[in-house]
Amino acid sequence: MVTGTGPHGRVVARDVEQAKSGKGLKAPAAAPSAGAPSIAPTMSDKQILSLFEPGSYDIVPHDGMRRTIAQRLTASIQNVPHFYLTIDCDIGKLLAAREEINAAAPKDKEKKPLYKISVNDFVIKAMAVALQKIPNCNVSWTESGMVKHHHSDVGVAVAMPGGLITPIIRKAETKTLSTISNEMKDFAARARSRKLKPEEYQGGTTAVSNLGMFGIKDFTAVINPPHATILAVGTSEERPVVRSGKIEIATMMSVTLSCDHRAIDGALGAELIGAFKQLIENPVMMMV
C-alpha cells in the first residue's frame, strides 16, 4: 500500500512523478534482525534461596508428576495464545432435574442408589454436546493443519496429592449422565491412588476444571495441548436477576472458556460458550 505526501496523506501527481523517476519516498531500511524475542530467564535455585534465612525452610524434591505439570503448563502459556470468555448461567432447571433424576435412581441390593448425578456431570455432558453443535471448536492445532475431531473426549481435572491429572470421558456426547457420573467416580478414585492407565488421561479434545466446589466464584484455566479449549467452572450462588422487567432471585454459575487463538477466534469461541449456556440452562436439550 502506497502512502503519499499530499494533503491529508493522499497520493498526488507529484508523488507519482517522483516515484517514476526513482526520487519518491522509499521504505526505511529494515532494522537488523535480532532474532525471536527471548524469554526472560527465571531465577536460579541459588538466587531464590539467597533471599531466605538459612534454616527457615525445608526443601521437598519434586516428583515426576510435579515436574511434568510444571513443564506442560509453562510450555502452554508460552506457546499457546490464550483468550478468555466468561458467561453466567442460570442453573435452576438443572438443579431441579438433578434432584428428580437422583430421587428416581434405582437401588442395589443394599438399597444404595446405583448413581448420584452431580452438577459437574451435567457440565461434562453440556460441554460435549456443545462441541458437537459447534464442530469447528472441537479441534486441535498442528503446524501442518487443523485436526477436526469426530467425538467429544472431555478431560476432567482431578486433584490428587502432589498435583492433578485429567482423566478423559471418551465420546461423552453419546453417554448418559449416569454413565458419565459412574465413570468419573471410578476415575477420581483411581487417580488419587495413581492407578490410572496412560490411555485414560492422555489425549482428549477439551477439558473441564471445576473449582466451584471450593467456593471459587470464577477463574481462568490453562489449556492443556492438544486441547484447544478448557472450561473453568465456578461455584453456584443465588443472585438477583431481571426477568420480564422484574427482579428475581436465581441460582447462577459463572464459567470461563479459555481458547487457543491459533485454532479458535473470538466469535467462534463465543458461539461455543453460548451453546454451552443454552444446554446447561435447559438440560432436557442434552437428551435430544
Residues marked active site are found at 261
If you search the block for the grid coordinates 443454552, which residue do you land on?
278
For 235, residues 6+ apart whose C-beta sits below 8 A from its C-beta are: 211, 212, 213, 214, 215, 216, 217, 253
State the cell numbers at 8.
491529508
C-alpha cell at 98: 438433578
What is the pairing mode between strands 229-243 and 206-210?
parallel
Q: Where are the alpha helices (DSSP H) in the chain?
A: 13-21, 45-49, 64-79, 92-103, 119-133, 177-192, 266-281
Tell me which residue has cell 499457546. 80
Q: Write the single-letter amino acid at 124.
A: I
Collapsing DSSP to helix, strand or coil, 82 comes out as strand
Q: Rounded to an integer, what distance in angstroms lies between the CA atom of residue 212 and that of residue 253? A: 9
Q: Which residues, in sequence order, are CB contacts of 243 under 8 Å at separation 6+?
A: 250
What span, in angstroms and rounded, lies between the C-alpha atoms of 169 and 181?
10
Sheet of strand 168-169: strand arrangement:
82-90, 246-260, 229-243, 206-210, 154-156, 168-169
* Residue 196: φ, ψ to 5°: -75, 145
Amino acid at 29: A
Letter for the amino acid at 80? V
